[in-house]
Amino acid sequence: MTIALQERLDAQITFAMEIDKLKRIIRRNTLIDGSRRENDAEHSWHLGMMAMVMAEHAPPGTDLDKVVAMLLVHDIVEIDAGDTYIYDTVAVEGQAALEQAAADRIFGMLPEDQCRRMRALWDEFEERRTSEARFAKALDRLAPILANHHNEGGSWALNKVTARQVLEKVQIITEGSPALGEFAARLIESSVANGHLAP
């Protein structure tokens, strides 16, 4: 192996070891059965699978491989920045700067060509300007709604979140997939009717 190839492999191994830390980042949301809180790695895997299963609800022409790749990298920055609860308005204010710095550091561990690709996927997800990014973000927003609906309010109940707050997030789902947005709205309505989400 040449020195250049060895250096490339060393960088890739260093990155692979670093992203193992994603398994330690505990999210506010629980598993769908409510048995425990999920970690970021589980969340990312679950979203990738959801993308494959729900691909027919993406806008026509959406590149599914790109969506899955985006979902695999979208939360890597939380290794440094931590999980920010979307209903914590104070924490959300400082989230972007922390995540940008984390993206610079973590993706910067990779060989330059791979750094550019991974960072571009992460940036695209954050900016939501493409159908792929909007569909990926829709799934990211739908997953906690599914979990909270199926575990009697879950993190909504613990954090005194209201239906109005959750419905504000449904707009992002609708932008990525009208069908999934409509489904999410029905889940929220049902959660309120069942007393698991405050009106």
pLDDT score for 92 = 83
Which residue's entry shows tokens 């029905």? Answer: 186
Task: Count the neighbouring beta carbons within 10 Å of the beta carbon of residue 49.
Answer: 13
For 122-141, how does the pLDDT look when each residue is reduced to its tens digit (9 = 90+)?
999 999 999 999 999 999 99
pTM, entire model: 0.95
* Separation CA 35–CA 167 (nearest Å): 25
Q: Considering Cα of 77, then 78, then 84, then 85, what sign does the dihedral take? A: positive
CB 67 within 8 A of CB 136: yes
Domain limits of the chain?
Answer: 3-193
For 167-190, how does the pLDDT look when each residue is reduced to its tens digit (9 = 90+)?
998 999 999 999 999 999 999 999
CATH architecture group of domain 3-193: Orthogonal Bundle (1.10)
Any residues with CB less than 8 A from the CB of 96 and at least 6 apart, and which? none
* Separation CA 167–CA 44 (nearest Å): 23
